[in-house]
Amino acid sequence: MEAMQTADATSLSAMVAKGEISADELLDHALARVAKLNPDLNAVVSVQEGAARRAIRAGLPDGPFRGVPFLLKDLGAEAVDFPGHNGSALLRDTRYTYDSELFLRMRATGAVTFGRTTSPEGGIGPVTEAAVYGGPTRNPWDLSRTSGGSSGGAAAAVAAGIVPIAHGSDGGGSIRIPASSCGLFGFKATRARFPDGPAAGEGWAGMAIEGFLSRSVRDNAVMMDACAGADAGAPYAAPAMEMTYAGAIARPPRRLRIGVCDTTFTGAPIHPECRTAVETTARLLEGLGHSVTPFCPKADHHGMMRAWTRIVACGTALSVRGALARRGRGLQDGDLQRLSHAAIRYAEGISGADYLQAVETIHAYGREMAAAFDGYDIILSATLAEPPAKVGRFTHDRDDYEAYRIGEGGVFEYSPFCATFNASGQPAATVPMHWTAEGLPVGVHFAAPFGHDATLIALCAECEQAQPWAHRWPPMTQS
């Protein structure tokens, strides 16, 4: 029983292959964990046990995660057997007539999908507090804290030992923010590494990408290898990797030139615990033989966030318009939370030329960040400027969308690092390298040049080996 909770997906699949445990037993255990922990966490929704049992009876694909329970984020990853709410009352009980290419690739690993995990409405915000789920999703390390967003349900489910790995997505830190908040490993690959079809060609002008949250680096590597590659009709594709993700972690990385930023990228101070995480990780890397020097990337970070804010507002408006068209009606009371209404109003003031200018700003910023890596292989910073926020701090029950994102005390001050690499398209990851005196996880953030995913994940695996975290579990999981 303990092995079912503590083993990673790779180990669990090996146990299934050896006949030590069955896929049905692993599913039983995951469902029992949902029943026990989800009332406090509010992380798992749209449970489809019947679909999972049918998949097992039909014979699972002989992939690397054969028999391992798995969860989809309740945003995207369309699948016939897994309806969802997409974080919104407007989209409640959405059913799909097709399986997305990403889901087909995840299913081919042999993983047993049995439900979805919560996300905020529209996927915007560093918390998961969507009204459609009846309350906030909470952090297993401290139920008064957020699990992060927008893949907050995925993070809570993995951190609580319900599943060892879960699907997420990241358009401004939505994998890395919750992974950092919940003491997990989260990886945002180079732009266009994974398929978006057939529902979309790209998300948020190419800034959004699918991905995974996991307890071990190797699980993430194997799942990304299984899902990588453009699908038919994709508008563009990521450059080919020099080796697979799994191949990259099978050997130590070369000694790297690492630039360390212990402030925000605009030079503002960060929380002492976050700075400690950066400093101790830098010393660890230096001890491993890497070249470590102080560094702060110079680029128009504020301009990028203003452009990001405009693009995401337009994306929200487009999503709502499409949902209403499919339903053949206008907006009704209770369809959306106040922040989504605010985003739509904000988008109405953006012309087509304004939107294209925002995209151009993002592209120019990408060139600035490409230049920032001259002389460096990796940029190290904190993942967040503070430990996980209290539930309610970033509620969607407010009317000023722009201030929510980039105003004083807003999201950009709390999460000033992650969106940088959505805008630039460069790969980035959060690694759980520090816990506060109160027992809250604090992630450190690594980023690499465009296309250098293999270098990045190899460094993450080296950190995992040098300072393991798999033995750390939230207290609520121990009872």
The closest of 382, 362, 375, 357 to 432, measured between CA atoms, is 382
The closest of 139, 152, 255, 259 to 213, measured between CA atoms, is 152
Residues 6+ apart with CB under 8 A from 174: 123, 149, 150, 151, 168
Q: How many residues does the chain have?
A: 479
- Select which of 46, 73, 147, 169 is catalytic: 73
What are 210's strand-pairing partners?
169
13 carries an active-site annotation = no
53 CB burial (10 A radius; 0-12, 13-18, 19+): middle
The encoded tokens of residue 396 equal: 């969607």
In Å, how far from its chain's centre is CA 350? Answer: 28
319 carries an active-site annotation = no
Residues 6+ apart with CB under 8 A from 308: 172, 207, 358, 362, 405, 419, 422, 423
User: Strands 112-117, 185-188: parallel, antiparallel or unpaired by DSSP?
Assistant: unpaired
The whole-angstrom separation of Cα 441 and Cα 428 is 18
- Select which of 174, 180, 214, 381 is catalytic: 174
The encoded tokens of residue 33 equal: 């964990």
DSSP string for 326-348: HHTS---TTSS-HHHHHHHHHHH
Cα(first)–Cα(last) distance of the chain, in Å?
13
Q: Find out whether 230 and 237 touch, Cβ atoms under 8 Å.
A: yes
Report cis status (omega within 30 of 0) of the bond before 180: no
The whole-angstrom separation of Cα 194 and Cα 179 is 19
Residues 6+ apart with CB under 8 A from 407: 400
73 carries an active-site annotation = yes
The whole-angstrom separation of Cα 300 and Cα 305 is 9
Which element (helix H / strand E) includes 413? Answer: helix 411-414
- Select which of 150, 180, 181, 415 is catalytic: 150
- Report the catalytic residues: 73, 150, 174
